[in-house]
Chains A and B, each alone.
Chain A
Amino acid sequence: MSERVAVRKTYKLYIGGKFPRSESGRSYLVQSGENSTANVALASRKDARDAVVAARAAGSGWAGATAYNRGQILYRVAEMLEGRREQFVALGIPGDEVDAATDRWVWYAGWSDKLPQVRGGVNPVAGPYLNLSTPEPTGVVAAVAPAAPALLGLVSVIAPAIVSGNTVVVAASPTDPLAAVTLAEVLATSDLPAGVVNILTGRIEETVPSLAGHRDVNALDLTGVADAELATSLEVRAAENLKRVLRPVPPHHDWYADPGLARMTALLETKTVWHPKGG
């Protein structure tokens, strides 16, 4: 029996449920495991634009799905991630981090149908009305994942955004993008509708400014932006159409700690209805 030909892998973008190369045709080299390198797509502004189109198209279906169904799908992501644990470890992600990322999906999955109860409810009003507030998704969220931890940080940015019905375009860690592309393979096999999560690999300063200025993006999560000056300029661009903005986290943030509700609640809009009581 002859020796097998090595199956070399090209790490591509994840846009609209597909794995396209960058529209620009560019790629860059990153370290993969101990002593090999991999080619990863270097996303351009146009890839970012295409990703927003895909995220917008997926928005109404995902927001319209029942909270129960979204929870099931997030849990399914955890199932698939658990099954691929070894693959992430082979990429150099510590086993603990993969486990923590899996647990995080489960944790957020549980919140899908509880968030409306915590953040919404019946308001007391002086009049014969039933007054209800319910949280609704903001829409399309553009996010920057932290450079490290590559997997847990990425999951901690994506999951709280999509659990409530938002769709995201996320710029993965530029230095460690292999975990992100492998996570995309997990998402693609988890019944998550195409376009709900879109992952761009490459330079943050190339893709994110166009997302920050994009009029069809509703919120901007700057979590992984390390350069304070860039973060400020992105926030200024986001102000142009009053996007919700999540500021960068401090460099030594503990990603393993209980994440709390803040990341979910920052990406919600509250809808209040007045209903005449009668009688």
Chain B
Amino acid sequence: MTATAMSARPDLTELGRSETALRGFLHGLPGVDQVGAEQRAAQLGTRSIKATAKAWAIDLAIRMVDLTTLEGADTPGKVRALAAKALRPDPADPSCPHVGAVCVYPSMVPYVAEVLRGPAGGAGSAGAEAAPAGAGVVHLASVATAFPAGQAPLEVKLADTRAAVAAGADEIDMVINRSAFLTGRYQEVYDEVVAIREACGPAHLKVILETGELSTYDNVRRASWLAMLAGADFIKTSTGKVPAAATPPVTLVMLEAVRDFRAATGRQVGVKPAGGIKTTKDAIKYLVLVNETVGADWLDPDWFRFGASSLLNDLLMQRTKLTTGDYAGPDYFTRD
């Protein structure tokens, strides 16, 4: 195992005060055994999950989905439809759970809020229908901080974040400043996360590391610790906007980081792989990875999420297969 050594650790809360201490700590983290991490992730991916365990895993995975649309072409109509789907993914089956959250751009947050929490001014919809099942339980996530590149002045990022929270988002997905991280300006990255954390107010903060741009697993481990030290509630692999998105080994490294962070500080941080997870098989592999790396404490939508869009339909099709015995077809589920 590549557990982080826990001996002779400086006071973690003091680290953010000086660039030297931060760098010393991050570079003092043990290196990741690349071959070992990839092998372990691949080996855990070979587990066969069947029957009732599979049914349980599919329902859990549905509850963990952050149903995402982050396109320039998003319209109020499209995100409303997506939010409705989040509440009731399979209209034909009332026993199907709702998803974890809807994730959109800040300008689309008000339209999603309308569907998830009823029209502005009160809970419960104005129409004859009662508030949909899951209303208020499905979270509303918004990307912020000049997503996906993060190349904007700090004031813009803060304003972006505050606007999203004011519009009704209760989870903020921020991107770290990769430019600063890769040039070794850790203090700048740290301060930025701290500032955004403050701007979030009551909203949960997910910090996107964009692992596809970090080059090495060592960097992933450092970025994970940096984000957690600065106050992240969740660490997330990718924006989904660069070709290299979430992979099982990257997620394994991040899971080890949250496990070690809890051991060191007592604070539990969630993990969200995003991008490229399209099939039920992939999702179940990630769940196995979670269970074997950090244990059942993280097998909960509060602590593990999937950033995905097309994954949900595959989960629903597999769920239908298990309940009806017949393979389902994509024609029977909404496309977005």
Contact = CB atoms under 8 A, between A and B. Distances in A.
Nearest to A52: B327
A216 B333 CA distance: 12
A69 to B, nearest CB: 27
Interface stretch (A10-18, A207-215, A257-265, A271-279): A207-215
Contacts of A215: 326-329, 331-332
Most buried by B among A210, A215, A216: A215
Nearest to A49: B327
A273 B169 CA distance: 47
Contacts of A52: 327
B330 interface: yes
Contacts of B331: 215-216
Contacts of B329: 214-217, 241
A112 B324 CA distance: 38
Contacts of B332: 215
A37 to B, nearest CB: 32
A110 B193 CA distance: 68
Nearest to B320: A215
Interface string A218-238: 000000000000000000010
Interface residue tally on A, bucketed by range? 10 to 19
A240 B326 contact: yes
B69 to A, nearest CB: 23
A210 B321 CA distance: 11
Interface residues of B, number: 8
Contacts of B328: 215-216
Interface in A240-272: 240-241
Name the prevailing secondary structure of the A interface residues.
Answer: loop
Nearest to B324: A213
B314 to A, nearest CB: 11
Nearest to A240: B326
B94 interface: no
B266 interface: no
A216 B326 contact: no
Contacts of A214: 326-327, 329
B325 interface: yes
Contacts of B325: 213
Interface string B296-331: 000000000000000000000000000001111111
Contacts of B326: 210, 213-215, 237, 240
Nearest to A210: B327
A214 B327 CA distance: 5
A9 B131 CA distance: 64
Most buried by A among B326, B330, B331, B332: B326
A45 B326 CA distance: 11
B175 to A, nearest CB: 34
A90 B331 CA distance: 45
Nearest to B327: A214
Most buried by A among B328, B329, B331: B329
A217 B330 CA distance: 11
A25 B327 CA distance: 21
B279 to A, nearest CB: 11
Contacts of A240: 326
A216 B314 CA distance: 13
B316 to A, nearest CB: 12
Nearest to B326: A213
Contacts of A210: 326-327
A210 B327 CA distance: 7
A126 B241 CA distance: 55
A43 B180 CA distance: 55
A151 to B, nearest CB: 30
Nearest to B325: A213
Contacts of B330: 216
A215 B329 CA distance: 5
A59 B264 CA distance: 55
Contacts of B327: 49, 52, 210, 213-216
A49 B325 CA distance: 13
A215 B331 CA distance: 8
Most buried by A among B325, B327, B332: B327
Interface in B196-235: none
Interface string A135-156: 0000000000000000000000
A49 B318 CA distance: 12
A5 B332 CA distance: 53
A52 B328 CA distance: 11
Nearest to A216: B329
Nearest to A217: B329
B77 to A, nearest CB: 26
A217 B331 CA distance: 11
A49 B281 CA distance: 14
A104 to B, nearest CB: 31
A217 B325 CA distance: 15
A213 B328 CA distance: 9
Given A216-B327, A237-B326, 7 more contacts: A49-B327, A210-B326, A210-B327, A213-B326, A214-B326, A215-B326, A216-B328
Interface of A: 49, 52, 210, 213-217, 237, 240-241
21 contacts: A49-B327, A52-B327, A210-B326, A210-B327, A213-B325, A213-B326, A213-B327, A214-B327, A214-B329, A215-B326, A215-B327, A215-B328, A215-B329, A215-B331, A215-B332, A216-B327, A216-B328, A216-B329, A216-B330, A217-B329, A241-B329
